[in-house]
Amino acid sequence: MMHSIKCCFLNDCFDFSAMKKKFKDKMSEFQTLRESIHQEYREVVERRVFTVTGNRADEETIDRLIETGDSEQIFHKAIQEQGRGQIMDTLAEIQERHDAVRDLEKKLLDLQQIFMDMAVLVDAQGDMLDNIESQVSSAVDHVQSGNTALQKAKSLQKNSRKWMCIAILILLIIVAIIVVGVLKPWQNNNGA
């Protein structure tokens, strides 16, 4: 059972459950953005291949171009058939964009790994805070039980004092009756 835990450090309060949900939402957005960038790059490569060769490239060719970045084999035939200058410019532009996208993708993957590491840390801290909350709750229960026991002890002590006083008073009355009975002050000792 996950509770919403609020924790304050240096006057800043954090709601870990809300932060965890927000973090997961951001990770999902990040993954969607990454996939979108990858798809856009595929489309750019596909358009460039079509522009240079005049033919639509199949998925395997596009995948190979994206993975290897080695587009020389695909464009070699086009270079021979058309003017080398235009093809080389197009090829250089594709290569430059490919390198930029690969670099961006690498940085995004690094960032994703950092976020995943943070998620693990936040989750571990959340478990630790759940444990602390449980311990505090248990301590509160024990303190309340202790207070109840102290109240009972006070009441018992008060009652025992009252009964002790009553017992002493009864004992004094009995001693007084015995003393009066033995001495019999109303009888005169002169007649003996």
Give 136-182 as a 3 state SS string.
HHHHHHHHHHHHHHHHHHHHHHHHHHHHHHHHHHHHHHHHHHHHHHH
Find out whether 157 and 27 touch, Cβ atoms under 8 Å.
no
pLDDT reported for residue 184: 77
> CA 126 to CA 132: how far, in whole Å?
10
pLDDT reported for residue 192: 47
Q: How far apart are the first and last CA of the chain?
A: 95
- Which residue, 83, 82, 37, 75, is CA-closest to 57? 75
Q: Which residue has better confidence, 87 or 137?
A: 137
- In degrees and rounded to multiples of 5, residue 156 shows phi and psi of -65, -40
The enclosing H or E element of 7 equals: strand 6-9
125 contact partners, CB below 8 Å, separation of at least 6? 16
> CA 5 to CA 16: how far, in whole Å?
6
> CA 58 to CA 110: how far, in whole Å?
30
If pLDDT is split at 50, 70 and 90, which confidence band does 167 have? very high
pTM reported for the whole predicted model: 0.38
If pLDDT is split at 50, 70 and 90, which confidence band does 1 have? very low
